[in-house]
Structure 1
Amino acid sequence: MQNRLEKLFWGGFALLWGWIVLNSVFRWEHNGPAAFAVGAALAAGVWALSKWVLPRLNGLSQKRWRAYFYTAFALYAAAFAAMAWLLAEVPIMDQEVVLRTLSDLLDDGRFGVWSGYYIVCNNNLGLALVLGGWYWLAGLVGFEPDSTLMGVAPGIALNVLALLFSVALLCLLARRVLKTNAAVALAFVLCAAFAPFWLYSPCFYSDTLSMPFGLLALLAFEAWQREERRARRLLLA
């Protein structure tokens, strides 16, 4: 009975997902069929990679595997940080408003003339407090929150750390759930090839800075399933 229910669930999920994809393709005005063809080719490449190439990593010893993985991750982190610096630009829209409020927040603990903004857009209050604490630490070594390249550098650094930490957490989750080197490698390859991560690397906004928390919740849930008492307390927190 359970096996039939699982097949029914996955069949319904495939139909729903397929309808969403096809509907998006036919309604997208910027050459949707071409984008669909490219996506299908990439999906086929990932499938082939996971089917024939990555499983060979399962035969490696853990010592050799860790050496390969840590080296690849270090190279990825260096390239990612360099890309974030090369793409750095003056913040705009809400990100600019949050950056401008930090000077007043660090001066006297208030938002000053921008206080009304956080009444309307209170979803950015937490972001401002996190960035305020980060820029307070950056101020100890001479950085100030402004629209110059040096002024946005601490925010970009925090964003890069959050994204890299998210990739590391996803790889750890793949290890915990699937327990193979191939699963970890596939998760890493998908993250490294995900263009929005690279393009969004200099944008220290809530979209990326909040990413680690969802993954931490999933890791806590996975640990709770293994009945670890400390993980249960973490999940409840």
Structure 2
Amino acid sequence: MKKLALTLFSTLLLAGPPMKSSDPFVPQVGQFEINVAVEGEHTDEKLFRAPILDFNYGVVKDVQITFETAYVTSEVEDEFKNDFDSFELALKWLFYEGELFSLALYPKYKSYPVDSIFNSGETFELSVPLNLALSQNLDLVLNPAYIAPKEGANHFEFGTYLKFKMDKHSFYTELFMENLSNEDEDVFTLGVVGYSYQFHESVAFMISFGKEITSRNQATVGYSGLQFVF
């Protein structure tokens, strides 16, 4: 069965987007999973990523390929800019599936154009998320990433995602840490807690809140949306 997941609305203040939730499972051979999302950011300028298009395809047993891109609109002092702003290629391999747990590797490469609107500080990211389903109720993602900025030294980012599922309800928490300039005092931290409700077999509501902290400022982040699967 083909899937289409559509996030109808979301709001994100003064931060990058929260980690995409992901389990270790992949589409069957020849099947598609398509995700369409909207994200926003508000600092000195207003940024919106709409739509974010994420295409997944089952190429062989237990393997999927992923392509993602985003169209970004920026508003600064009533001046608007817009363009496709990021491109991601990924391969997910479900290499173990058992009764106690399932495990997949999901290596990703994401690039940004030189004149990127949404992420002007980076040129590309390399990450290898480790996706685990620890039971029918618990998902865990560990996500180390290698960041290549336009200025300054290359550095690493680490993110974790933990999700507990209970009937139609899901609760999750996310934590990001990134050393912005290889200096201990210049560390970006983002913590998020969230909730989703599956009020129909094909429709879910999601909402999350969190806190962003750097050496220079603090901010509150929020995210909400609807998800359709069919």
TM-score normalised by the chain length of structure 2: 0.22
Bigger strand share: 2
Which is higher, the Rg of structure 1 or of structure 2? 1
Structure with bigger RCO (C-alpha 8 Å, 6+ apart): 1
TM-score, structure 1 length as denominator? 0.21
